[in-house]
Every structure is written in structure tokens, then in C-alpha cells.
Structure 1
């Protein structure tokens, strides 16, 4: 940033100069701080903050299921925490869920709620205005109104797999894409899919920041592997499945491995070890496994390293990936990989994996036999160790940072009249969305009230019917008939009723 631009941003505004009427200033101070004083304090507060100031919405840490994306951002923040970039960042901490690293500035932010995304965008803009943010980036598909943004794309699964794009999550994703000025993708494959579904995006607008392999992943010692096997009573050779086992529309393709094992003749006595994914193994997976031993574990990174190092192979027959981080992690631990040559996977696996047809159990059986041949196994391990070194969080962090810096500098030199018109459109859209969501919320509350009223009416009707049945039962009883006869007799004899 040029010195002139730096001073323009940080200098005291003209209306804060001593030319202001002192009597007016004194009089206003007795009531509340005048606007010029608040703006002056903001300017002085910002003078020690370098350009650009970047807001990161930590929304993904609010949702525990998004562990892969959480790992991406936790790793990036960990790298930046050791460098001089912390003073450029403002982390929007959703309900106290963002990981805390020294050096970063955190701003409390309300918990995200997909029922109120219009209001959320306005809240984000208010924070950006208060913190004088130059550029915004979200960990998961949020955007302000007028502050420029960069979109981070992890995959295009909803679009490729034909999911319901009217779902509010994917609507917000598309709003984030349309709002952004630049794009970051974790693979070339994801970038190609992004541009295919959003043709207005040009290749020069997209930067690739591959995921990295954490330094905790490297080949484990034989003693560590034995200790791991003993701790979890793993007495058979095993293959690894990491992450979700089915995924939307079954794209993770785990059944392919189980069919391959079930159809093997003679059948090799191997186990399937599932790491992560849903807590309970899905019934369809258990049914396909048959007599094959299949276990689900949740492991720390240290245990994961031992699990990779001791496995026959990682089998990863996915039909689509945004990156495929388990492939790189397995290779870093000296674990052969069997996977499919689809989407981003060849970018990660390179020439160090065995690729199979994702529709062919026979191809998987053949690959399982190959990885147990000593010469093939050693070749894959050696190539995999070299391939995994291509992916580091340091390199990814550098790419992300330079893309953000370049974007902020480019935007600061550009005429902002078009941006102001676009911001107005976004403001109007979000205002309309806020009103619609409020009506939807009101409608749902009315529905709940009607349902409660219907239940109360039903309960009242039941109690009334029950009371009538009791009265009818009493009236038909011998005692009631005797009582009625006695009352009639007393009336005839002239006695009291």
C-alpha cells in the first residue's frame, strides 16, 4: 500500500480537526460522545493496524460435523500464528467456538442460524464497518453486504451430485460465490467445477491452495504399530476406510470394497477398519460385510499415524472429492493407497497410488493382491512418501495469504462506483430475505400454535367422550337404576327428592 493511501486511511477526518466549535464540543461531551469524537477514536485505534485488515468468519467451527474443513482452517491459522500476518486478521468468533491462537484479534459474533441468514449478512457488515475491514473471507459460505469478499471453495458436491440446490445451505454457498471478487479452491478439479457451474468466473480469478499434510503424519515405528494393534485388539491384517462411508447419494462408494472382499476366492481373512464417519456403522454396510470383521474407531492423529503405518492399504474408492486429504496423509505414513482416478484424486495421488474402476470389485481385489506383493508395496511406499511432500500447510497458507493481499491491493486502487451499486443490490436482496425469513418464522410459529391448539382440542374431546362414557355406564348400572327407583318412590310418597 502506498504511503499516501496509508495516511488517507489512518489520518483524522477533516471534521475532527480543531476547527470544530469548542463550545459545541464541550456541550456535547456532557451528554454523549459526538460523532466526530467517535470517528476520531476509531481513526487513532486503526493507525497501528496495517493494511489490509481481513475478517475471517469462523462459522465452520460452530458446526462439529465439518471436521475436514475445520482442519484446513485450524492448520492455516496455526501457520499464520508463527508469522507476521496475525495483525492483519480479525477472527469472527461464533459463540466462542473458534480455536484461539496467540497474536490474532477475536471479535465476538452471534451463533450462526440458517433460519436468519439475511440478518446474519447485515450483522457481518456491521462488524466489518466497526472494524474497518478491507476484505472478508468465510470458512463456510457467508458474506457481508458491501465489504469485498474472497470465496473459499472446497468441493462442488451439491452441484455435481444433483442435490436440492434450494436448500438454504447451498443457496448461501451460491450467494457467497456471486458476492466474491476472487476465489480460492483446494484443487484444480474443484476450480474447474466451480467455473463450469458459474461460467462468469474467469481462470485468472481463481487461485489454487492445495491442502497440506500435518507434520504429525510420518511412518510409525514397528513398536508403535504393535502397541496400536494391541490397544484395539486388532489380530488380523486390516485395510483402512477413512471418513464418511456413504456420503450423499453414496458417492464415497464403500460398498465396492466390501463386495470385493465378499467375492474373493479363496477369501483372505482381513478386517476392515473404519476411521471417523458416523458413530454407528450403517446397516447396509454391515449387511454387505457379512462375516468380514468391520470396526469403527475414532482416533487421535498419533493413533491415526500408527493405523496408517500398519494397514495393508487405505482403500478410497470415492466417486468425487474436493481434495482427498486421507490419501496424502496415508502416503506420508508409508501406507499404500487404492483409489479411483476421479475428480481431484489424481492431483493428490499422482503416480504413487493404485487406481481402480469405481464400479469394479474385481479391480479392487486385484489391487489388494498387488499391494501385498513386496516389490509393488515398496514401490508404492517410496513413491507415496515423495508425493506427500508436495502438500504442506505452509505452502497453502502462503498461497491463501498472497491471494488475499493481492485482492485487497487491487480493490483499493479501483474505482468503487460499481462496487457501491453492487452493494446496494446485495443490501436490497438481504433485506428482502430477512423479511421473507421473518414471515417464514412467523408462519412456523403459527403452525406450531395451531398444532398445540388441535392437540388441546383433541385432548378435551377425549376427556368429554370419556366422561360421557362413564355417565352412560353409571346410568346403565343396577345401582343407578335402584337409586332412580328410590327417588321416584320418595316423590310419590311426598318425601324430599
Structure 2
């Protein structure tokens, strides 16, 4: 069996969703390897640029830190030499084109879309490299069937083998909710709606802002029900305003949140609003469901595949549709039904299951 080497360059990047997925999958594989007998265990290592080792030690995976720091050149030129003879596993959308054999995970095809809001240079780089990486890989991994079809539709992946490794979401239950998170923001449980803010066009924040403005205007005119406040995780009011977005005047801005604060916000929310026009997987709705928070989402991207009937769906272009679904959750029986459905659905997406799927694929490819 070949040695298996993980590309550790992702550790030099931002702690975003791709970083989380890459790190967690490697840790799950490490746990599974540690439980195997030494005779059956494949030789697995993580190759990282200088200054990028894992903070916590692995039980079975060797960490090899290079003397050179992270760069595109390191990944494309230096890494192939360091991984020579090994099956190289790349979990963060990028891989050295010239190294073989390799496995490459492409999380989505957002970079192909005109509304992706990526910098032009980054978008063009991905459009050039992604097809080359995919076609030179023994196996391409992605996170949903929607993402697989999207990558194929844009011509990123060819006729090679593609396997799906769903994200896990149960990390959100591994930390206790921060008891100070709501009081710090002046919030009480059940009195607000939750949304992740973004200036990216495909995240479609505008439809929610328009919906709540309609509700506020109707309430001022003595019509309709008093709308709940919107809590926005992520960018500030000024950042959203500079991007041409107009959040409600009474919106609460939570800023960046760790998992403890985020769990508290999920558990106290009337609903998570998720209006994105496309997602390769869509992690926040699954996290919310695990925290007994109902989800209202646009039926776009991988969200219908991942959430099924456990989320209420609203047209991404119709603000009144969002108000109708928010009103539906005011009914106690509807809310209870969606909470139960969400718990059952989200329970499918565990990191342990994702790690097992990945390790089985690695061993099969390394033989």
C-alpha cells in the first residue's frame, strides 16, 4: 500500500469553512487510524509549510514540517517533491497539478459564477487550475450531489471518478452554549431571527432585508404582526451598507462568533434565515437544526438535497414569501414539527461518518 500524504497548506489560510472541513476530516481519519492495529494501519503523514503545524498532536498521523513557508509555488512545486511516491490528498480546493497519484476535494463551483464576488484574479486562477487539478486526480471528492453536478456542468470535472463526502455538523454540539452571548447583545430567547451576513451577491441578504422592511412598514401602519429583530452574524452595519445593502434599522450585529456563542444564538432564535442562491453544502442550516432552531431557506444549490423537508423554503426573489414562512413558525405546532424534523435530518451529518467514508476511499485508492 502506498503512503498517504495530506496536503497541509490549508493550515496557512483563514479559519473559514474549507479550513474547518479539511482540519476536521484529517482529525477524524487520525482517530480511526489510531484505533486500527499497527499491522493494518496505512502509513499516513501531513506535510505542512514552515510555521503551519497542527496545534494539537495527532495520534497516528506523522506531521512533516518543511523548511519553506506557504505559497502557491510551495504547493505547485515544492509539495510534489516532498510527497513523491505517496497518494497526495488535497482537501481545500487546491492541489499540485503535476503530482500523481492524488485525490482532490472541490467543495463547490462558486468561482465559475459571475455573482461569486471573488476577486477577479482569484476567480481566473481557479477557473484555470481547477479543471487541470480535477483531470489529473485519481479521484475527485465533493460535498454534495448538487456540487458534483455543478462542477460537471461548468466543465471543471471530466469523466473521472467523483465521490461525495458530506460535511459533518455535530461540532456545534461539542461545546456548551455561551450563557453570556444573548445578554451581551441585549437579546432574549425566542425574540429574534438569525442570519449570516455577507456582501457576496449570491448570499442574497437583500431579500431578507426587504422582507423585514415590508413587515416594519406594515406594523407602523397598524397592519400585520410586530416583526422580530434580526441578528446578523459576521459583517458590521457599515460593511453591509458600503456594499449597497440596507439592513433593518433595529438589526443587531453579533460580529464574528465562536461555536459557543453561535450555539447560544441558534438555540435562542425563532428561526435561521438562509437566503443563499447557491451552496455546495450549506453548513449553517444543519448546525441550526441540531440546536433545535427551525430553518427558512431558499430552495437553491445543495440546500434542498441537504435539508429535505426539514426546512421551510421561500422564493429567493420574493420578500413576502419569507414573511409568510416567518409567520408560519409563529404557530406552535408548525414550529414543533420543524424542530423534530430538523433534528432527525441533521443527525445524518456527522464528522465521524464523514471521516469513515474518507478513510475507506483513501485506503482503496492507496492499494
**C-alpha deviations, 1:426-464, integer Å up to 9, x for none?**
xxxxxxxxxxxxxxxxxxxxxxxxxxxxxxxxxxxxxxx
Alpha-carbon distance, 1:266 to partner: 1.7
Moved more, 205-214 or 98-107: 98-107
Q: RMSD of the alignment, in Å? A: 2.7
Structural mapping, 1:320-359, within 5 Å:
320-359=278-317
2:37 is matched with which residue? none
Alpha-carbon distance, 1:386 to partner: 0.4
Alpha-carbon distance, 1:218 to partner: 8.2
2:158 is matched with which residue? 201
The TM-score, its normalising length taken from structure 1, stands at: 0.64
Matched residue SS, 1:167: helix
1:63 is matched with which residue? 13
Point out the structure with the larger helix share: 1
Matched residue SS, 2:246: helix
Q: Is the 8 A contact 1:209 1:400 kept in 2?
A: yes
Matched residue SS, 1:241: strand
Matched residue SS, 1:211: coil
Distance 1:371 1:387, change over 3 A: same
The structure with the larger Rg is 1
Structural mapping, 1:100-111, within 5 Å:
100-103=56-59, 104-109=61-66, 110-111=68-69
Whole-Å Cα distance in 1 between the matches of residues 108 and 326 of structure 2? 29
Alpha-carbon distance, 1:337 to partner: 0.3
Alpha-carbon distance, 1:325 to partner: 0.3
Alpha-carbon distance, 1:113 to partner: 2.5
Q: Which has the higher contact order (CA 8 A, sep 6+)?
A: 2
How many residues are paired up? Answer: 346
Q: Is the 8 A contact 1:87 1:105 kept in 2?
A: no
1:148 is matched with which residue? 101
2:170 to 189, 197, 214: 214
Matched residue SS, 1:364: helix
2:214 to 259, 263, 268: 263
Q: Is the 8 A contact 2:231 2:254 kept in 1?
A: yes
Whole-Å Cα distance in 1 between the matches of residues 179 and 238 of structure 2? 26
Alpha-carbon distance, 1:235 to partner: 5.1
Q: Is the 8 A contact 2:77 2:96 kept in 1?
A: no
1:405 to 358, 363, 367: 363
Whole-Å Cα distance in 2 between the matches of residues 173 and 405 of structure 1? 24
Whole-Å Cα distance in 2 between the matches of residues 256 and 143 of structure 1? 40
Alpha-carbon distance, 1:357 to partner: 0.4
Structural mapping, 1:109-188, within 5 Å:
109=66, 110-114=68-72, 117=73, 120-129=75-84, 132-143=85-96, 145-161=98-114, 164=120, 167-188=124-145
2:241 to 260, 269, 283: 283
1:416 is matched with which residue? none
Distance 1:226 1:182, change over 3 A: closer
2:324 is matched with which residue? 366
Alpha-carbon distance, 1:356 to partner: 0.6
Alpha-carbon distance, 1:205 to partner: 0.8
Whole-Å Cα distance in 1 between the matches of residues 210 and 129 of structure 2? 38
Whole-Å Cα distance in 2 between the matches of residues 310 and 82 of structure 1? 33
Q: Is the 8 A contact 2:194 2:231 kept in 1?
A: yes
Which ranges in structure 2 are unaligned for 5 or more consecutive residues? 35-40, 221-225
Q: Is the 8 A contact 2:170 2:350 kept in 1?
A: yes
1:84 is matched with which residue? 33
